[in-house]
Amino acid sequence: MELQAPLLPTLRRALLATIHGYYLEALAWLPKDKLRGSHQYLYSLLHAGHCYGPLDPVSNIIVNTLWHAQAYPLTLEKKIEIEAISTRALLRIALRSLYGLISFLCTRHPALTPGEAMQRLQLARAYLQNADDRDHDGGVEEAYAAAANAARHPKPLEQAHFLGPSNSMLKGFSDLLEHNKPSNVRPLFPGYFQALANCKPPQEIKNTNVLGPWAYNDAMRMIGNFWNQHNSAVGMAKSAIEMYNMKSQVQPSYEVHVVCGVNESVGGHANPTKPFDGTCCCSHINFLATRTAAAGTSPELFFAECSNIGSKEVLLCCPVAMPLPGTEQVRCLYCESRGRTIVHPTKESFLGRDKEFEKMLCGERQRANNEMISDSYYITLGLDNLEEDRIYGDYSCDSGLQEDVPLPEIN
Ligand SMILES: [Zn+2]
């Protein structure tokens, strides 16, 4: 039975929340030094680390990321050290993964509509192997090619071949995962990809752009915006974990692994006397943090609420559980309406929780729940030109160049 149209945004929202949780788990598995430094795992995760494949969704994200980073390393002239993953870029790869999952199922099962594929995925918690009930490998590589195209993978045919049944390495991982805990198998992944790198030389990717003055200035403006937001988010996350370390007196103390979600528009305008100053009162932040001196511990997820003004006081910092696949998340008026996927605490009070929701449902805020869900849906449609995309490029200016040259997409 085809799904009624109004239910689709709700189903899509639930699936995106589940997939987002898989990305948080995968980020916790990837080593901090390689996420940030010249290995640029973050770049590969955001552009090619989709959650579909023959393994469980978290393992798929990890192997897709490692494979892309090893086979197509991005070589930049400039050095970048990224400590905060862009929230919208993370939402974009989750959304592209969802498109890939739907396309895979509709290719393997031609009678299936996209709505029915989404229902199957919801029941299977976005775990492709459980949603695809065909027990033979015929047409699997074609289905992965359809998935990779729908998901805008930069190397769709190569990814389809990598994920297809002829890859004995993934078959081996799949067998291991069937009989062992993922926490015992996933640490083996990097070693295999390193061995692969020794057999097959990587195909380095450069992203060098010569632009006219207008386009160059625009690119520089976007890059400047990215770093302003990045540095502000990292500063707040570091202050938040320092405060948490002091308050809870944990030994050894926590250190930020990576910032993985920011909404800087929480609460009303910080200064109502300045209507053109768009600064809001607070930010909501998710970050992963590790007790670094404790061997063998994996990063844990934290939530922080910080003031955007003055000394950027930390109002709340607490650990939150990794979201369980298929479960409803604690809702936040401000994060949902901005389309930001941020995990909020279940017990602690924060701006945008109970009172704000009550006001909205009583009509004081003149926004209905369905309206908010559809707003967050429309935000997911405008994710093609992000500041994040400009970070991974080298730029130079040629004043004689025609100005209407479009800025190239690199993903
Ligand atoms: Zn929030």
For residue 246, the model assigns a pLDDT of 93
Q: What is the pLDDT of residues 120-153, one digit of tens each?
A: 999 999 999 999 987 777 889 999 999 999 999 9
Residue 397 belongs to some domain of the structure: no
Per-range mean pLDDT, top range of 44-58, 286-300, 367-381:
44-58
Does one domain contain both 63 and 166?
yes
**Ion ligand 1 residue ranges (Cβ < 5 Å):** 284, 332, 335, 352
284 and 383 together in one domain: yes
Q: Interior CA angle at 168 toward 167 and 169, to 5°?
A: 95
Which is it for strands 74-75 and 254-269: parallel, antiparallel or unpaired? unpaired
Confirm whether 34 is domain-assigned: yes
- Whole-number Å distance, alpha carbon 231 to ligand 1 midpoint, is 20
pLDDT of 78 above 70: yes
Higher pLDDT: 361 or 116? It is: 116
Q: What is the pLDDT of residue 298?
A: 87
Q: What number of other Cβ atoms are within 10 A of residue 121's Cβ?
A: 26
Q: How far is the CA of 349 from the centre of ligand 1 (A)?
A: 11
Taking the centre of ligand 1 as the mean of its atom positions, its distance from the CA of residue 340, in whole angstroms, is 8
Least confident of 34-38, 63-67, 366-370, 382-386: 366-370
Neighbours of 113 (CB within 10 A): 14
Same domain for 28 and 176, yes or no, is yes
Label the pairing between strands 208-211 and 394-397.
Answer: parallel
What residues contact 184, with CB distance under 8 A and at least 6 apart?
none
What is the pLDDT, as a whole number, of residue 407? 55
404 is a domain residue: no
Give the pLDDT of residue 268. 74
Please report the pLDDT score of residue 381 as a whole number.
66
Residue 181: partners with Cβ closer than 8 Å, 6 or more residues away: none
Taken as a whole, the chain contains a residue count of 411
Find the 168 Cα to ligand 1 centroid distance in Å: 43
b/e string for 223-259 if b means 16 or more Cβ within 10 A?
beebeebbebbbebbbbbbbbbbeeeeeeebbbbbbb
Domain boundary among 185, 206, 227: 206
Distance 332 CA to ligand 1 centre (A): 5
Q: At what angle do helices 369-379 and 7-29 cross, to 10 degrees?
A: 60
What pLDDT, on the 0 to 100 scale, is given for residue 52?
98
Q: What does the pLDDT average to over 13-31?
A: 94
Q: Are residues 144 and 283 located together in one domain of the fold?
A: no
Asked whether residue 401 is domain-assigned, the answer is no
Question: What pLDDT is stored for residue 328 in this prediction?
Answer: 79
Task: Tell whether 400 is covered by a domain.
Answer: no
* pLDDT 10s digits, 345-355: 999 989 888 76
* Helix H or strand E encompassing 361: helix 354-361
Reported as a single tens digit per residue, the pLDDT across 266-317 is: 887 766 666 666 778 899 999 999 997 766 778 999 999 999 888 889 999 9
Q: What is the CA radius of gyration of the chain?
A: 22
Report how far ligand 1's centroid is from the alpha carbon of 372 (Å): 14
Instruction: Measure 333 CA to ligand 1 centroid, in angstroms.
Output: 7
CB 85 within 8 A of CB 27: yes
Q: What percent of the chain has pLDDT over 90?
A: 54
Identify which of 151, 192, 174 has the alpha carbon closest to the alpha carbon of residue 55. 174
Is there a single domain that holds both residue 215 and residue 202?
A: no
**Taking residues 69-93, what's their average pLDDT?**
90
Q: What is the mean pLDDT of the chain?
A: 86
Quick check: 249 pLDDT over 60? yes
Q: In terms of C-beta density within 10 A (0-12 exposed, 13-18 middle, 19 or more buried), how is residue 300 classed?
A: middle
Provide the pLDDT for residue 220. Answer: 94
Å from CA of 238 to ligand 1 middle: 18
Report which of residues 181 and 136 the model is more confident about. 181
Among 40-54, 271-285, 366-380, whose mean pLDDT is lowest? 366-380
CA distance 212 to 161: 39
246 and 377 co-located in one domain: yes
Residue 110 included in any domain: yes
Element (H, E) at 285: strand 280-291
Least confident of 218-222, 334-338, 401-405: 401-405
Q: How many angstroms separate the alpha carbon of residue 359 from the centre of ligand 1?
A: 16
Are 13 and 146 in a shared domain? yes
Q: What is the mean pLDDT of residues 384-389?
A: 79
Q: How many domains does the chain have?
A: 2
Question: Angle at Cα 320 formed by Cα 316 and Cα 322, nearest 5°?
Answer: 150
Judgement on whether residues 184 and 332 belong to the same structural domain of the protein: no
CA 378 / ligand 1 centre spacing (Å): 18
Are 258 and 374 members of one domain?
yes
Domain C-terminal end among 206, 232, 265 = 206
Instruction: Tell me, in angstroms, the distance from the centre of ligand 1 to residue 344's CA.
Output: 7
The verdict on residue 380 lying in a domain is yes
Strand partners, 280: 269
- Report the percentage of the chain scoring pLDDT > 70: 86
Structural domain that includes position 374 = 211-389
Whole-number pLDDT of residue 409: 55
Q: Which residue reads 């936040």 in tokens?
A: 332
Dist. CA 152 → ligand 1 center (Å): 29
CA–CA distances in Å: residue 86 to residues 173, 207, 253: 30, 19, 26
Q: CA-CA distance, 118 to 105, in Å (whole number)?
A: 9
Residue 96 belongs to some domain of the structure: yes
Distance 343 CA to ligand 1 centre (A): 8
Same structural domain, 244 and 144: no
Whether 411 shows a pLDDT value over 50: the answer reads no
Final residue in a domain of this structure, among 179, 206, 233: 206
CB 24 within 8 A of CB 130: no
- Shared domain for 227 and 202, answered yes or no, is no
| C-alpha of residue 158 to centroid of ligand 1, in Å | 39
| 54 has a pLDDT exceeding 70 | yes
How buried is 198 (Cβ within 10 angstroms: 0-12 exposed, 13-18 middle, 19+ buried)?
exposed
Residues 92/386, Cβ–Cβ less than 8 Å: yes
Q: How far apart are the CA of 233 and the centre of ligand 1, in A? A: 14
Q: How far is ligand 1, taken at its centre, from the CA of residue 346, in Å?
A: 12
Question: How remote is the CA of residue 82 from the centroid of ligand 1, in Å?
Answer: 23
Residue appearing with tokens 């990779």: 148
Give yes or no: residues 202 and 217 share one domain.
no
